[in-house]
Structure 1
Protein backbone atom coordinates (compact mmCIF):
# COMPACT_ATOMS: atom_id res chain seq x y z
CA UNK A 1 0.00 0.00 0.00
CA UNK A 2 1.21 3.49 -0.76
CA UNK A 3 2.41 5.45 2.27
CA UNK A 4 0.95 8.49 0.53
CA UNK A 5 -2.54 7.10 0.93
CA UNK A 6 -1.94 6.07 4.53
CA UNK A 7 -0.99 9.67 5.33
CA UNK A 8 -3.99 11.27 3.67
CA UNK A 9 -7.00 9.19 4.69
CA UNK A 10 -10.02 8.70 2.41
CA UNK A 11 -9.38 8.69 -1.32
CA UNK A 12 -11.28 9.39 -4.49
CA UNK A 13 -10.77 6.53 -6.95
CA UNK A 14 -11.82 5.96 -10.53
CA UNK A 15 -12.20 3.01 -12.85
CA UNK A 16 -14.15 2.28 -16.02
CA UNK A 17 -14.95 -0.47 -18.52
CA UNK A 18 -15.51 -3.19 -15.93
CA UNK A 19 -17.32 -5.37 -18.49
CA UNK A 20 -18.73 -7.49 -15.69
CA UNK A 21 -20.29 -9.98 -18.09
CA UNK A 22 -16.85 -11.50 -18.71
CA UNK A 23 -15.90 -14.25 -16.26
CA UNK A 24 -12.30 -13.11 -16.30
CA UNK A 25 -13.34 -9.76 -14.86
CA UNK A 26 -15.47 -10.99 -11.96
CA UNK A 27 -12.53 -11.68 -9.64
CA UNK A 28 -11.03 -8.33 -10.57
CA UNK A 29 -14.25 -6.54 -9.62
CA UNK A 30 -14.54 -8.47 -6.35
CA UNK A 31 -11.04 -7.29 -5.45
CA UNK A 32 -11.96 -3.61 -5.83
CA UNK A 33 -12.18 -2.68 -2.18
CA UNK A 34 -11.68 0.57 -0.30
CA UNK A 35 -8.78 1.29 2.00
CA UNK A 36 -10.87 3.45 4.32
CA UNK A 37 -14.55 3.80 5.21
CA UNK A 38 -14.59 7.19 3.50
CA UNK A 39 -13.31 6.18 0.05
CA UNK A 40 -15.35 7.13 -3.03
CA UNK A 41 -15.36 5.29 -6.34
CA UNK A 42 -16.09 6.87 -9.73
CA UNK A 43 -17.15 4.39 -12.43
CA UNK A 44 -16.86 5.93 -15.90
CA UNK A 45 -19.15 3.62 -17.84
CA UNK A 46 -19.28 0.23 -19.56
CA UNK A 47 -20.13 -1.69 -16.42
CA UNK A 48 -21.80 -4.44 -18.49
CA UNK A 49 -24.02 -5.10 -21.50
CA UNK A 50 -27.06 -6.36 -19.60
CA UNK A 51 -29.32 -4.26 -17.43
CA UNK A 52 -29.38 -6.56 -14.40
CA UNK A 53 -25.61 -7.04 -14.39
CA UNK A 54 -25.06 -3.27 -14.43
CA UNK A 55 -27.32 -2.72 -11.45
CA UNK A 56 -26.02 -5.72 -9.46
CA UNK A 57 -22.37 -4.79 -10.04
CA UNK A 58 -22.79 -1.17 -8.97
CA UNK A 59 -24.88 -2.24 -5.99
CA UNK A 60 -22.05 -4.51 -4.79
CA UNK A 61 -19.54 -1.70 -5.19
CA UNK A 62 -21.83 0.68 -3.31
CA UNK A 63 -21.88 -1.78 -0.40
CA UNK A 64 -18.12 -1.31 -0.11
CA UNK A 65 -17.50 2.35 -0.93
CA UNK A 66 -18.89 5.39 0.88
CA UNK A 67 -20.15 6.72 -2.45
CA UNK A 68 -20.25 5.34 -5.99
CA UNK A 69 -20.63 7.79 -8.88
CA UNK A 70 -21.61 6.32 -12.26
CA UNK A 71 -21.84 7.69 -15.75
CA UNK A 72 -23.03 5.49 -18.64
CA UNK A 73 -20.88 4.03 -21.35
CA UNK A 74 -22.07 2.82 -24.71
CA UNK A 75 -22.34 -0.80 -23.51
CA UNK A 76 -24.53 0.27 -20.59
CA UNK A 77 -26.97 1.75 -23.11
CA UNK A 78 -27.08 -1.26 -25.43
CA UNK A 79 -30.28 -3.29 -25.78
CA UNK A 80 -28.88 -6.76 -26.55
CA UNK A 81 -31.09 -9.68 -27.61
CA UNK A 82 -32.16 -11.79 -24.68
CA UNK A 83 -31.87 -9.06 -22.08
CA UNK A 84 -35.07 -9.18 -19.97
CA UNK A 85 -35.11 -5.37 -20.06
CA UNK A 86 -35.72 -4.37 -23.68
CA UNK A 87 -36.03 -0.61 -23.11
CA UNK A 88 -34.14 1.35 -25.76
CA UNK A 89 -32.25 4.61 -25.95
CA UNK A 90 -33.25 7.37 -23.56
CA UNK A 91 -35.83 5.09 -21.95
CA UNK A 92 -33.13 2.56 -21.09
CA UNK A 93 -30.94 5.26 -19.59
CA UNK A 94 -33.87 6.52 -17.52
CA UNK A 95 -34.63 3.01 -16.27
CA UNK A 96 -30.99 2.62 -15.21
CA UNK A 97 -31.10 5.91 -13.33
CA UNK A 98 -34.26 4.84 -11.49
CA UNK A 99 -32.79 1.44 -10.58
CA UNK A 100 -29.44 2.80 -9.46
CA UNK A 101 -31.02 5.50 -7.31
CA UNK A 102 -32.74 2.74 -5.36
CA UNK A 103 -29.26 1.40 -4.59
CA UNK A 104 -27.90 4.83 -3.62
CA UNK A 105 -25.60 5.08 -6.65
CA UNK A 106 -25.09 8.65 -7.88
CA UNK A 107 -26.00 9.19 -11.55
CA UNK A 108 -25.59 12.13 -13.96
CA UNK A 109 -29.20 13.10 -13.28
CA UNK A 110 -28.62 13.57 -9.54
CA UNK A 111 -27.16 16.48 -7.64
CA UNK A 112 -23.44 16.51 -8.31
CA UNK A 113 -21.57 15.48 -5.15
CA UNK A 114 -18.79 17.53 -3.63
CA UNK A 115 -15.56 15.82 -2.65
CA UNK A 116 -13.51 17.61 -0.01
CA UNK A 117 -9.76 17.13 -0.28
CA UNK A 118 -6.86 18.84 1.37
CA UNK A 119 -7.02 21.44 -1.39
CA UNK A 120 -10.68 22.23 -0.73
CA UNK A 121 -14.04 21.22 -2.21
CA UNK A 122 -14.33 19.86 -5.74
CA UNK A 123 -17.58 19.06 -7.54
CA UNK A 124 -17.66 15.62 -9.15
CA UNK A 125 -19.50 15.95 -12.47
CA UNK A 126 -20.67 12.68 -14.08
CA UNK A 127 -21.54 13.48 -17.69
CA UNK A 128 -24.04 11.52 -19.76
CA UNK A 129 -22.72 12.14 -23.27
CA UNK A 130 -22.50 10.10 -26.47
CA UNK A 131 -20.66 10.27 -29.78
CA UNK A 132 -21.68 12.16 -32.91
CA UNK A 133 -19.15 10.79 -35.45
CA UNK A 134 -17.29 14.12 -35.43
CA UNK A 135 -14.05 12.35 -34.42
CA UNK A 136 -14.03 10.54 -37.76
CA UNK A 137 -10.72 10.79 -39.55
CA UNK A 138 -12.07 10.23 -43.07
CA UNK A 139 -11.58 13.63 -44.66
CA UNK A 140 -14.38 14.83 -46.89
CA UNK A 141 -16.84 12.02 -46.11
CA UNK A 142 -20.22 12.60 -44.53
CA UNK A 143 -21.16 10.68 -41.39
CA UNK A 144 -23.18 8.21 -43.46
CA UNK A 145 -20.36 7.74 -45.97
CA UNK A 146 -17.77 7.28 -43.21
CA UNK A 147 -19.85 4.58 -41.52
CA UNK A 148 -20.34 2.82 -44.85
CA UNK A 149 -16.60 2.96 -45.54
CA UNK A 150 -15.88 1.52 -42.08
CA UNK A 151 -18.29 -1.32 -42.79
CA UNK A 152 -16.56 -2.09 -46.08
CA UNK A 153 -13.20 -2.09 -44.29
CA UNK A 154 -14.39 -4.50 -41.62
CA UNK A 155 -14.18 -1.84 -38.91
CA UNK A 156 -17.65 -1.45 -37.43
CA UNK A 157 -18.85 -0.63 -33.95
CA UNK A 158 -21.60 -2.77 -32.42
CA UNK A 159 -23.16 0.54 -31.34
CA UNK A 160 -24.64 0.65 -34.85
CA UNK A 161 -26.68 -2.44 -33.92
CA UNK A 162 -27.34 -2.33 -30.18
CA UNK A 163 -27.25 1.34 -29.17
CA UNK A 164 -30.61 2.74 -30.19
CA UNK A 165 -31.21 6.50 -30.18
CA UNK A 166 -34.97 6.39 -29.42
CA UNK A 167 -36.80 8.74 -29.32
CA UNK A 168 -34.23 10.75 -31.30
CA UNK A 169 -33.91 10.28 -35.03
CA UNK A 170 -30.21 9.40 -34.84
CA UNK A 171 -27.37 8.83 -32.40
CA UNK A 172 -25.80 12.14 -33.37
CA UNK A 173 -29.09 13.95 -32.70
CA UNK A 174 -29.23 12.38 -29.25
CA UNK A 175 -25.60 13.37 -28.73
CA UNK A 176 -26.31 17.01 -29.59
CA UNK A 177 -29.21 17.12 -27.14
CA UNK A 178 -27.06 15.64 -24.37
CA UNK A 179 -24.21 18.08 -25.02
CA UNK A 180 -26.62 21.03 -24.89
CA UNK A 181 -28.15 19.82 -21.61
CA UNK A 182 -24.75 19.22 -20.01
CA UNK A 183 -23.45 22.59 -21.13
CA UNK A 184 -26.44 24.41 -19.63
CA UNK A 185 -25.96 22.67 -16.30
CA UNK A 186 -22.22 23.28 -16.24
CA UNK A 187 -22.68 26.93 -17.17
CA UNK A 188 -24.96 27.28 -14.14
CA UNK A 189 -22.19 26.31 -11.70
CA UNK A 190 -21.19 29.21 -9.45
CA UNK A 191 -18.05 31.12 -10.39
CA UNK A 192 -14.90 29.55 -9.02
CA UNK A 193 -16.27 26.04 -8.47
CA UNK A 194 -13.59 23.45 -9.24
CA UNK A 195 -14.64 20.19 -10.88
CA UNK A 196 -13.65 16.67 -11.79
CA UNK A 197 -15.30 15.94 -15.13
CA UNK A 198 -16.25 12.27 -15.58
CA UNK A 199 -17.27 10.99 -19.00
CA UNK A 200 -17.12 7.61 -20.67
CA UNK A 201 -15.48 9.06 -23.78
CA UNK A 202 -12.42 11.34 -23.97
CA UNK A 203 -13.34 15.00 -23.99
CA UNK A 204 -10.47 15.79 -26.36
CA UNK A 205 -9.44 14.20 -29.63
CA UNK A 206 -5.76 13.84 -28.77
CA UNK A 207 -5.92 10.46 -26.93
CA UNK A 208 -7.44 8.84 -30.04
CA UNK A 209 -3.99 8.94 -31.66
CA UNK A 210 -3.20 5.80 -29.64
CA UNK A 211 -5.92 3.56 -31.07
CA UNK A 212 -4.79 1.06 -33.68
CA UNK A 213 -7.63 1.55 -36.15
CA UNK A 214 -8.38 5.23 -36.54
CA UNK A 215 -11.87 4.69 -37.98
CA UNK A 216 -13.08 3.47 -34.58
CA UNK A 217 -12.60 7.03 -33.34
CA UNK A 218 -15.88 8.16 -34.87
CA UNK A 219 -17.67 6.19 -32.11
CA UNK A 220 -15.47 7.64 -29.35
CA UNK A 221 -16.89 11.03 -28.42
CA UNK A 222 -17.54 14.45 -29.87
CA UNK A 223 -15.54 17.53 -30.78
CA UNK A 224 -18.23 19.56 -28.98
CA UNK A 225 -16.50 18.89 -25.63
CA UNK A 226 -13.13 20.33 -26.67
CA UNK A 227 -11.90 22.84 -24.10
CA UNK A 228 -14.43 21.87 -21.42
CA UNK A 229 -11.72 20.95 -18.89
CA UNK A 230 -10.40 24.50 -18.88
CA UNK A 231 -13.77 26.19 -19.32
CA UNK A 232 -15.24 24.35 -16.32
CA UNK A 233 -12.19 24.61 -14.07
CA UNK A 234 -11.43 20.88 -13.98
CA UNK A 235 -8.81 19.61 -11.57
CA UNK A 236 -8.94 16.37 -13.55
CA UNK A 237 -10.86 14.59 -16.31
CA UNK A 238 -11.73 10.91 -15.93
CA UNK A 239 -12.76 8.77 -18.90
CA UNK A 240 -12.56 5.26 -20.32
CA UNK A 241 -13.71 3.58 -23.54
CA UNK A 242 -10.30 3.35 -25.22
CA UNK A 243 -9.01 0.53 -22.99
CA UNK A 244 -5.62 2.26 -22.85
CA UNK A 245 -4.99 3.34 -19.25
CA UNK A 246 -2.81 6.43 -19.40
CA UNK A 247 -2.71 10.04 -18.21
CA UNK A 248 -2.32 12.97 -20.59
CA UNK A 249 -1.92 16.55 -19.45
CA UNK A 250 -3.88 18.75 -21.84
CA UNK A 251 -3.78 22.52 -21.33
CA UNK A 252 -2.53 21.90 -17.82
CA UNK A 253 -5.30 19.46 -16.83
CA UNK A 254 -4.65 15.72 -16.28
CA UNK A 255 -6.94 13.51 -18.36
CA UNK A 256 -6.99 9.99 -16.87
CA UNK A 257 -8.07 6.97 -18.93
CA UNK A 258 -8.95 4.39 -16.26
CA UNK A 259 -10.24 1.29 -18.09
CA UNK A 260 -10.09 -2.21 -16.69
CA UNK A 261 -10.97 -3.57 -20.15
CA UNK A 262 -11.37 -7.13 -21.37
CA UNK A 263 -9.50 -10.07 -19.82
CA UNK A 264 -7.60 -10.75 -23.05
CA UNK A 265 -6.17 -7.22 -22.97
CA UNK A 266 -4.58 -7.61 -19.55
CA UNK A 267 -2.81 -10.94 -19.75
CA UNK A 268 -1.83 -11.79 -16.20
CA UNK A 269 -2.06 -8.25 -14.87
CA UNK A 270 -4.58 -9.24 -12.23
CA UNK A 271 -2.04 -11.56 -10.61
CA UNK A 272 -0.98 -8.25 -9.06
CA UNK A 273 -3.27 -5.83 -7.21
CA UNK A 274 -5.15 -3.59 -9.62
CA UNK A 275 -4.23 0.07 -9.62
CA UNK A 276 -6.87 2.79 -9.64
CA UNK A 277 -6.58 6.54 -9.64
CA UNK A 278 -6.67 8.57 -6.53
CA UNK A 279 -7.40 12.08 -7.65
CA UNK A 280 -6.82 15.51 -6.16
CA UNK A 281 -3.88 14.57 -3.97
CA UNK A 282 -0.25 15.04 -5.04
CA UNK A 283 1.27 11.85 -6.38
CA UNK A 284 -2.06 10.05 -6.29
CA UNK A 285 -2.19 8.58 -9.77
CA UNK A 286 -0.85 5.13 -8.93
CA UNK A 287 -2.49 3.98 -5.71
CA UNK A 288 -3.39 0.34 -5.02
CA UNK A 289 -7.10 0.04 -4.29
CA UNK A 290 -7.27 -3.71 -3.68
CA UNK A 291 -5.78 -5.63 -0.76
CA UNK A 292 -2.60 -7.54 -1.47
Structure 2
Protein backbone atom coordinates (compact mmCIF):
# COMPACT_ATOMS: atom_id res chain seq x y z
CA UNK A 1 0.00 0.00 0.00
CA UNK A 2 1.47 3.34 -1.00
CA UNK A 3 2.10 5.94 1.67
CA UNK A 4 0.05 9.13 1.47
CA UNK A 5 1.91 12.34 0.49
CA UNK A 6 2.09 13.71 4.02
CA UNK A 7 3.51 10.46 5.36
CA UNK A 8 6.04 10.41 2.52
CA UNK A 9 7.10 13.91 3.45
CA UNK A 10 7.57 12.81 7.04
CA UNK A 11 9.75 9.94 5.91
CA UNK A 12 12.07 12.46 4.35
CA UNK A 13 12.68 13.98 7.75
CA UNK A 14 14.64 12.49 10.61
CA UNK A 15 14.92 8.72 10.62
CA UNK A 16 15.10 8.24 14.38
CA UNK A 17 13.29 9.32 17.50
CA UNK A 18 14.10 9.54 21.16
CA UNK A 19 12.45 11.24 24.09
CA UNK A 20 14.74 14.25 24.07
CA UNK A 21 14.93 14.58 20.26
CA UNK A 22 18.68 15.08 20.72
CA UNK A 23 20.11 12.05 18.90
CA UNK A 24 20.13 11.31 15.18
CA UNK A 25 21.38 8.05 13.73
CA UNK A 26 20.57 6.97 10.21
CA UNK A 27 20.19 3.28 9.47
CA UNK A 28 19.33 1.35 6.35
CA UNK A 29 16.15 -0.51 7.23
CA UNK A 30 15.14 -3.85 5.65
CA UNK A 31 12.77 -3.78 2.70
CA UNK A 32 11.12 -7.15 3.31
CA UNK A 33 9.02 -8.50 6.17
CA UNK A 34 9.19 -7.94 9.92
CA UNK A 35 9.11 -11.05 12.13
CA UNK A 36 9.14 -11.60 15.89
CA UNK A 37 9.83 -14.34 18.40
CA UNK A 38 10.27 -14.32 22.15
CA UNK A 39 11.23 -16.59 25.03
CA UNK A 40 13.98 -18.50 23.25
CA UNK A 41 15.31 -19.72 26.63
CA UNK A 42 18.67 -20.72 25.24
CA UNK A 43 19.67 -22.34 28.52
CA UNK A 44 17.78 -25.39 27.23
CA UNK A 45 19.87 -27.54 24.88
CA UNK A 46 16.98 -28.27 22.50
CA UNK A 47 16.22 -24.57 22.15
CA UNK A 48 19.88 -23.77 21.59
CA UNK A 49 20.11 -26.32 18.77
CA UNK A 50 16.87 -25.07 17.22
CA UNK A 51 18.11 -21.48 17.30
CA UNK A 52 21.41 -22.46 15.69
CA UNK A 53 19.39 -23.90 12.77
CA UNK A 54 17.64 -20.61 12.02
CA UNK A 55 18.00 -19.94 8.29
CA UNK A 56 18.93 -16.62 6.63
CA UNK A 57 16.12 -14.14 5.97
CA UNK A 58 17.76 -11.57 3.68
CA UNK A 59 15.87 -8.31 3.49
CA UNK A 60 13.84 -9.03 6.64
CA UNK A 61 13.87 -7.73 10.22
CA UNK A 62 13.42 -9.52 13.56
CA UNK A 63 12.14 -8.50 16.99
CA UNK A 64 13.36 -10.57 19.95
CA UNK A 65 10.75 -10.14 22.69
CA UNK A 66 12.81 -10.98 25.74
CA UNK A 67 13.77 -14.06 27.75
CA UNK A 68 16.46 -15.20 25.34
CA UNK A 69 18.22 -16.62 28.40
CA UNK A 70 19.86 -15.87 31.73
CA UNK A 71 23.48 -15.17 30.86
CA UNK A 72 25.74 -13.05 28.71
CA UNK A 73 26.50 -16.19 26.70
CA UNK A 74 22.80 -16.64 25.93
CA UNK A 75 22.48 -13.03 24.82
CA UNK A 76 25.47 -13.33 22.52
CA UNK A 77 24.12 -16.57 21.03
CA UNK A 78 20.79 -14.90 20.39
CA UNK A 79 22.20 -11.70 18.94
CA UNK A 80 24.93 -13.27 16.84
CA UNK A 81 22.55 -15.66 15.07
CA UNK A 82 19.81 -13.06 14.69
CA UNK A 83 22.14 -10.54 13.09
CA UNK A 84 23.62 -13.21 10.82
CA UNK A 85 20.15 -14.10 9.52
CA UNK A 86 18.31 -10.76 9.50
CA UNK A 87 19.14 -7.31 8.18
CA UNK A 88 18.01 -5.59 11.41
CA UNK A 89 17.28 -6.88 14.91
CA UNK A 90 15.43 -5.35 17.85
CA UNK A 91 15.44 -6.67 21.41
CA UNK A 92 13.53 -5.83 24.56
CA UNK A 93 14.39 -7.42 27.92
CA UNK A 94 12.45 -10.10 29.67
CA UNK A 95 12.63 -11.05 33.32
CA UNK A 96 15.14 -13.86 32.70
CA UNK A 97 17.80 -11.54 31.27
CA UNK A 98 17.54 -9.49 34.47
CA UNK A 99 18.17 -12.41 36.84
CA UNK A 100 21.13 -12.33 39.19
CA UNK A 101 21.84 -16.03 39.55
CA UNK A 102 22.91 -17.59 42.88
CA UNK A 103 26.49 -18.04 41.68
CA UNK A 104 26.55 -14.27 41.04
CA UNK A 105 24.84 -13.27 44.27
CA UNK A 106 27.93 -11.67 45.82
CA UNK A 107 29.51 -10.03 42.78
CA UNK A 108 26.92 -10.03 40.00
CA UNK A 109 25.13 -6.98 38.68
CA UNK A 110 21.60 -6.35 39.95
CA UNK A 111 18.59 -4.41 38.72
CA UNK A 112 19.34 -1.44 36.47
CA UNK A 113 23.03 -2.35 36.34
CA UNK A 114 22.15 -5.82 35.02
CA UNK A 115 19.87 -4.26 32.43
CA UNK A 116 22.67 -1.94 31.31
CA UNK A 117 25.01 -4.91 30.91
CA UNK A 118 22.45 -6.46 28.55
CA UNK A 119 22.21 -3.19 26.61
CA UNK A 120 25.99 -3.11 26.22
CA UNK A 121 26.02 -6.64 24.79
CA UNK A 122 23.24 -5.75 22.34
CA UNK A 123 25.30 -2.82 21.11
CA UNK A 124 28.22 -5.15 20.38
CA UNK A 125 25.97 -6.66 17.69
CA UNK A 126 24.24 -3.47 16.54
CA UNK A 127 20.95 -4.77 17.99
CA UNK A 128 18.43 -2.01 18.69
CA UNK A 129 17.03 -1.83 22.24
CA UNK A 130 14.56 0.24 24.27
CA UNK A 131 17.48 2.57 25.04
CA UNK A 132 18.08 3.35 21.36
CA UNK A 133 16.15 5.73 19.16
CA UNK A 134 12.97 4.42 17.62
CA UNK A 135 13.32 3.97 13.86
CA UNK A 136 10.95 3.90 10.91
CA UNK A 137 10.17 0.61 9.22
CA UNK A 138 9.98 1.13 5.44
CA UNK A 139 9.58 -2.51 4.45
CA UNK A 140 6.39 -4.42 3.74
CA UNK A 141 3.46 -3.21 5.80
CA UNK A 142 5.14 0.14 6.48
CA UNK A 143 5.81 2.87 7.08
CA UNK A 144 5.60 2.39 10.84
CA UNK A 145 7.65 3.34 13.88
CA UNK A 146 9.29 0.34 15.60
CA UNK A 147 9.13 0.99 19.34
CA UNK A 148 10.75 -1.58 21.67
CA UNK A 149 9.97 -0.76 25.31
CA UNK A 150 10.58 -2.12 28.82
CA UNK A 151 7.85 -1.94 31.48
CA UNK A 152 8.27 -4.79 33.99
CA UNK A 153 5.18 -5.40 36.24
CA UNK A 154 3.63 -4.01 39.41
CA UNK A 155 1.38 -6.84 40.70
CA UNK A 156 -1.75 -4.99 39.51
CA UNK A 157 -3.01 -7.94 37.44
CA UNK A 158 -4.96 -9.18 40.48
CA UNK A 159 -8.59 -9.22 41.69
CA UNK A 160 -9.97 -5.99 43.16
CA UNK A 161 -10.37 -7.57 46.59
CA UNK A 162 -6.67 -8.52 46.82
CA UNK A 163 -4.39 -5.79 48.16
CA UNK A 164 -0.91 -5.08 46.88
CA UNK A 165 0.55 -6.29 50.17
CA UNK A 166 -1.52 -9.45 49.97
CA UNK A 167 -0.87 -10.19 46.30
CA UNK A 168 2.12 -12.53 46.56
CA UNK A 169 0.64 -14.42 49.57
CA UNK A 170 -2.57 -14.76 47.50
CA UNK A 171 -0.59 -16.42 44.69
CA UNK A 172 1.24 -18.67 47.15
CA UNK A 173 -2.13 -20.02 48.34
CA UNK A 174 -2.21 -21.89 45.00
CA UNK A 175 1.48 -22.85 45.07
CA UNK A 176 2.31 -20.11 42.58
CA UNK A 177 5.33 -17.85 42.92
CA UNK A 178 7.60 -16.45 40.23
CA UNK A 179 11.32 -17.11 40.38
CA UNK A 180 11.60 -13.33 40.01
CA UNK A 181 10.90 -13.01 43.73
CA UNK A 182 14.32 -14.49 44.38
CA UNK A 183 16.44 -13.58 41.35
CA UNK A 184 15.12 -10.32 39.85
CA UNK A 185 16.32 -7.44 41.99
CA UNK A 186 15.06 -3.85 41.55
CA UNK A 187 18.24 -2.01 42.61
CA UNK A 188 18.48 0.93 43.09
CA UNK A 189 14.67 1.10 43.39
CA UNK A 190 13.03 0.02 46.67
CA UNK A 191 10.79 -2.54 44.94
CA UNK A 192 9.91 -4.05 41.57
CA UNK A 193 6.72 -1.99 41.43
CA UNK A 194 8.77 1.19 42.01
CA UNK A 195 11.05 0.19 39.15
CA UNK A 196 8.00 -0.53 37.01
CA UNK A 197 6.52 2.91 37.79
CA UNK A 198 9.78 4.61 36.80
CA UNK A 199 9.86 2.66 33.54
CA UNK A 200 6.24 3.55 32.76
CA UNK A 201 7.04 7.26 33.08
CA UNK A 202 10.16 6.90 30.97
CA UNK A 203 8.51 5.09 28.07
CA UNK A 204 5.32 7.15 28.19
CA UNK A 205 7.54 10.13 27.50
CA UNK A 206 9.34 8.38 24.67
CA UNK A 207 6.15 7.11 23.04
CA UNK A 208 4.49 10.53 23.35
CA UNK A 209 7.49 12.05 21.58
CA UNK A 210 7.13 9.52 18.79
CA UNK A 211 3.44 10.27 18.35
CA UNK A 212 4.06 14.02 18.35
CA UNK A 213 6.80 13.81 15.76
CA UNK A 214 5.08 11.32 13.46
CA UNK A 215 1.32 11.83 13.96
CA UNK A 216 0.47 9.98 10.74
CA UNK A 217 2.61 6.91 11.31
CA UNK A 218 1.37 3.94 13.35
CA UNK A 219 3.59 2.27 15.93
CA UNK A 220 4.69 -1.32 16.36
CA UNK A 221 5.17 -1.58 20.12
CA UNK A 222 7.29 -4.49 21.33
CA UNK A 223 7.49 -5.43 25.00
CA UNK A 224 8.18 -8.67 26.82
CA UNK A 225 5.14 -8.33 29.10
CA UNK A 226 1.58 -8.04 27.69
CA UNK A 227 0.17 -4.52 27.80
CA UNK A 228 -3.35 -5.64 28.77
CA UNK A 229 -4.64 -7.86 31.55
CA UNK A 230 -7.38 -9.31 29.34
CA UNK A 231 -4.67 -10.90 27.18
CA UNK A 232 -3.37 -12.95 30.10
CA UNK A 233 -5.13 -16.33 30.06
CA UNK A 234 -3.32 -18.85 32.24
CA UNK A 235 -5.56 -21.89 32.65
CA UNK A 236 -3.31 -23.88 34.96
CA UNK A 237 -1.58 -21.08 36.90
CA UNK A 238 -4.05 -18.17 36.85
CA UNK A 239 -2.46 -16.41 39.81
CA UNK A 240 0.82 -16.10 37.94
CA UNK A 241 -0.88 -13.06 36.38
CA UNK A 242 0.77 -10.97 39.11
CA UNK A 243 4.06 -11.16 37.25
CA UNK A 244 2.59 -10.53 33.78
CA UNK A 245 2.32 -6.75 33.43
CA UNK A 246 0.72 -3.57 34.70
CA UNK A 247 -2.73 -2.02 34.29
CA UNK A 248 -0.99 1.29 33.59
CA UNK A 249 -0.43 0.21 29.96
CA UNK A 250 -3.99 -0.94 29.26
CA UNK A 251 -4.74 1.89 26.79
CA UNK A 252 -1.29 2.41 25.29
CA UNK A 253 -2.32 0.83 21.99
CA UNK A 254 -4.93 3.59 21.62
CA UNK A 255 -2.94 6.45 23.11
CA UNK A 256 0.04 5.84 20.86
CA UNK A 257 -1.71 4.73 17.67
CA UNK A 258 -0.31 1.21 17.67
CA UNK A 259 -0.83 -0.92 14.58
CA UNK A 260 0.61 -4.01 16.26
CA UNK A 261 1.64 -4.79 19.84
CA UNK A 262 4.11 -7.66 20.18
CA UNK A 263 4.83 -9.50 23.43
CA UNK A 264 6.01 -12.79 24.88
CA UNK A 265 6.30 -14.05 28.47
CA UNK A 266 3.15 -16.21 28.58
CA UNK A 267 4.45 -19.09 26.41
CA UNK A 268 0.96 -19.20 24.89
CA UNK A 269 0.95 -18.14 21.26
CA UNK A 270 -2.12 -16.12 20.33
CA UNK A 271 -3.38 -13.28 18.13
CA UNK A 272 -5.98 -10.80 19.38
CA UNK A 273 -7.59 -7.64 18.05
CA UNK A 274 -8.47 -4.74 20.34
CA UNK A 275 -9.79 -1.42 19.03
CA UNK A 276 -8.45 -2.22 15.57
CA UNK A 277 -4.94 -3.00 16.90
CA UNK A 278 -3.44 -6.46 16.49
CA UNK A 279 -1.80 -8.06 19.54
CA UNK A 280 0.68 -10.88 18.94
CA UNK A 281 2.08 -13.23 21.59
CA UNK A 282 5.16 -14.73 19.95
CA UNK A 283 6.82 -17.04 22.50
CA UNK A 284 8.84 -20.10 21.57
CA UNK A 285 8.85 -21.32 25.17
CA UNK A 286 10.41 -24.29 26.93
CA UNK A 287 11.11 -27.43 24.85
CA UNK A 288 8.05 -29.26 26.21
CA UNK A 289 5.85 -26.35 25.08
CA UNK A 290 6.76 -26.60 21.41
CA UNK A 291 7.45 -30.35 21.40
CA UNK A 292 4.52 -31.05 19.07
CA UNK A 293 5.96 -28.65 16.51
CA UNK A 294 9.39 -30.27 16.77
CA UNK A 295 7.83 -33.71 16.28
CA UNK A 296 6.25 -32.41 13.07
CA UNK A 297 9.66 -31.32 11.81
CA UNK A 298 9.22 -27.65 12.60
CA UNK A 299 11.96 -25.41 13.92
CA UNK A 300 12.36 -21.77 14.81
CA UNK A 301 11.75 -20.68 11.21
CA UNK A 302 8.24 -22.09 11.34
CA UNK A 303 7.56 -20.48 14.72
CA UNK A 304 8.58 -16.97 13.70
CA UNK A 305 5.52 -14.72 13.66
CA UNK A 306 5.04 -12.31 10.77
CA UNK A 307 4.36 -8.88 12.26
CA UNK A 308 4.44 -6.77 9.11
CA UNK A 309 2.66 -6.88 6.82
CA UNK A 310 0.79 -9.54 8.83
CA UNK A 311 -2.85 -10.58 8.53
CA UNK A 312 -5.59 -8.06 7.85
CA UNK A 313 -8.39 -7.55 10.37
CA UNK A 314 -11.87 -8.55 9.31
CA UNK A 315 -13.97 -5.46 8.68
CA UNK A 316 -17.17 -6.67 10.33
CA UNK A 317 -18.15 -8.63 13.40
CA UNK A 318 -16.20 -9.66 16.47
CA UNK A 319 -12.68 -10.97 15.94
CA UNK A 320 -12.07 -13.93 18.29
CA UNK A 321 -8.71 -14.84 19.75
CA UNK A 322 -6.68 -17.00 17.42
CA UNK A 323 -4.70 -19.57 19.39
CA UNK A 324 -1.60 -20.50 17.40
CA UNK A 325 0.62 -23.56 17.64
CA UNK A 326 3.14 -22.06 15.24
CA UNK A 327 3.66 -19.26 12.72
1:267 and 2:274 aligned: no
**In the alignment, is the contact (CA less than 8 A) between 2:38 and 2:282 conserved in 1?**
yes
Give CA deviations for 1:216-244 in whole Å, capped at 9, x if unaligned.
00100000001111211111010000000
Match of 1:82, SS state, is helix
**In the alignment, is the contact (CA less than 8 A) between 1:13 and 1:40 conserved in 2?**
yes
TM-score between both structures, scaled by the size of structure 1: 0.89
Q: Which residue of 2 aligns with 1:67?
A: 88
Aligned counterparts of 1:78 and 1:187: Cα–Cα separation in 2: 30
Q: Which residue of 2 aligns with 1:255?
A: 279
Give CA deviations for 1:169-220 in whole Å, capped at 9, x if unaligned.
0000000000000001111121223110000011111111344222100100
Aligned counterparts of 1:82 and 1:160: Cα–Cα separation in 2: 17
- Flag structure 2 segments of 5+ consecutive residues without an equivalent: 1-30, 313-321
Task: Choose which of 134, 139, 150 in structure 2 pairs with 1:112.
Answer: 134
**In the alignment, is the contact (CA less than 8 A) between 2:153 and 2:196 conserved in 1?**
yes
Give CA deviations for 1:91-125 in whole Å, capped at 9, x if unaligned.
10011111211211111100112211345421110
Q: Which residue of 1 aligns with 2:61?
A: 40
Aligned length: 279
Note the C-alpha offset of 1:82.
Answer: 2.3
Note the C-alpha offset of 1:32.
Answer: 2.4
Match of 2:147, SS state, is strand
Match of 2:165, SS state, is helix
Task: Choose which of 99, 112, 122 in structure 2 pairs with 1:90.
Answer: 112
Aligned counterparts of 2:53 and 2:293: Cα–Cα separation in 1: 13
Aligned counterparts of 2:124 and 2:253: Cα–Cα separation in 1: 31
Aligned counterparts of 2:47 and 2:141: Cα–Cα separation in 1: 35
1:235 and 2:259 aligned: yes
TM-aligned CA distance change 1:97 to 1:149, over 3 Å: same
- Flag structure 1 segments of 5+ consecutive residues without an equivalent: 1-8
RMSD between aligned alpha carbons? 2.2
TM-score between both structures, scaled by the size of structure 2: 0.80
**In the alignment, is the contact (CA less than 8 A) between 1:33 and 1:65 conserved in 2?**
no
Aligned counterparts of 1:78 and 1:131: Cα–Cα separation in 2: 15
